[in-house]
Amino acid sequence: MYAKIAEKYAKFRRYVIWMYRLYELNTQIAICEPWEKVFCHLLIGSCLSLILYASYAYVPGYCQTLVGFLMPVIRNTNQTYNNIKYVEAEGMSSSSQSYLT
């Protein structure tokens, strides 16, 4: 049993090493010096983490807004987003906004 687990682990390790080498060759990092590799890995990792964070933080709100515009019947009038209620400002009608234009 342990031999099978060790064999699967070795196979998985070879696969990860192969994927890393493929990544290095596709991004041309394989020809860089070690300090350049570290810099490129940090740059790529930083960009990837910013993209992942932005998609986690902003995409759900955009999707809710898009669904609200496409299907206004489904939109709830008491909907809250980021603890801010969407309410219409009191006293702001088309007649009271005429002085702004």
pLDDT in tens, 2-45: 899 999 999 999 999 999 999 999 989 989 999 999 999 999 99
Q: State if pTM tops 0.85.
A: no
Task: Give the pLDDT of residue 64.
Answer: 80
24: which residues sit within 8 A by CB, 6+ positions away? Answer: 30
What is the SS3 assignment for 35? helix
